[in-house]
Amino acid sequence: MRKRTARVRRRPRANRLGLSARDYRGKPSTLCKGCGHDAISSQLIRAFFESDIRPHQVAKLSGIGCSSKTPAYFLGQSHGFNSVHGRMPSVATGAMLANRKLIAVGVSGDGDTASIGIGQFVHLVRRNVPLIYIVENNGVYGLTKGQFSATADENAKLRSGEVNRLPNIDLCGMAVELGATYVARSFAGDPKQLVALLRGALAHSGTAVLDILSPCVTFNNHPGSTKSYTWGKDNEEPIHLLDFVPEFEQIEVEYEEGQSRDVQLHDGSWIRLRKLDQDYDPTNRRAARELMLDAQENNRFLTGLLYVDPDKPTFLDTLEMTDTPLAHLEESRLRPPPEALDRIVASYQ
Q: Using CB under 8 A as the criterion, which residues of the chain lie in contact with other proteins when the complex forms? A: 54-57, 59, 61, 71-72, 76-84, 87, 89-95, 97-99, 101-102, 119-120, 122-123, 319-323, 325-329, 331, 333-336, 338, 340-342, 344-345, 348-349
Distance CA 195, CA 132 (A): 13
* Of residues 303, 290, 295, the one with CA closest to residue 233: 303
Distance CA 103, CA 327 (A): 15
Nearest-approach distance from CB 91 to other proteins, in angstroms: 4
Nearest-approach distance from CB 313 to other proteins, in angstroms: 15
Nearest-approach distance from CB 288 to other proteins, in angstroms: 25
From residue 153, how far is each of 103, 164, 166, 215, 226 by CA, in Å?
33, 7, 8, 14, 7
Nearest-approach distance from CB 79 to other proteins, in angstroms: 4
Distance CA 170, CA 114 (A): 9
DSSP symbols for 124-176: HHHHT-SEEEEEEE-SEETTTT-EE-TTSPTT-B-TTS-B--SPPP-HHHHHH
* Nearest to other proteins of 123, 285 (CB atom): 123
Angle between helices 191-203 and 36-50 (to 10 degrees): 50
* Nearest to other proteins of 87, 227 (CB atom): 87
* Nearest to other proteins of 54, 233 (CB atom): 54
Which amino acid makes up residue 187? F
Nearest-approach distance from CB 328 to other proteins, in angstroms: 7
* Nearest to other proteins of 21, 326 (CB atom): 326
* Nearest to other proteins of 294, 342 (CB atom): 342
Angle between helices 88-98 and 118-127 (to 10 degrees): 30
* Nearest to other proteins of 64, 271 (CB atom): 64
Question: Contact 274/260 with Cβ under 8 angstroms?
Answer: yes
Nearest-approach distance from CB 11 to other proteins, in angstroms: 22
From residue 17, how far is each of 60, 99, 103, 191, 198 by CA, in Å?
20, 22, 16, 24, 19
Which amino acid makes up residue 22? R
Distance CA 322, CA 334 (A): 12
* Nearest to other proteins of 164, 207 (CB atom): 207
Nearest-approach distance from CB 198 to other proteins, in angstroms: 20
DSSP 309: -
Nearest-approach distance from CB 130 to other proteins, in angstroms: 13
* Nearest to other proteins of 71, 304 (CB atom): 71
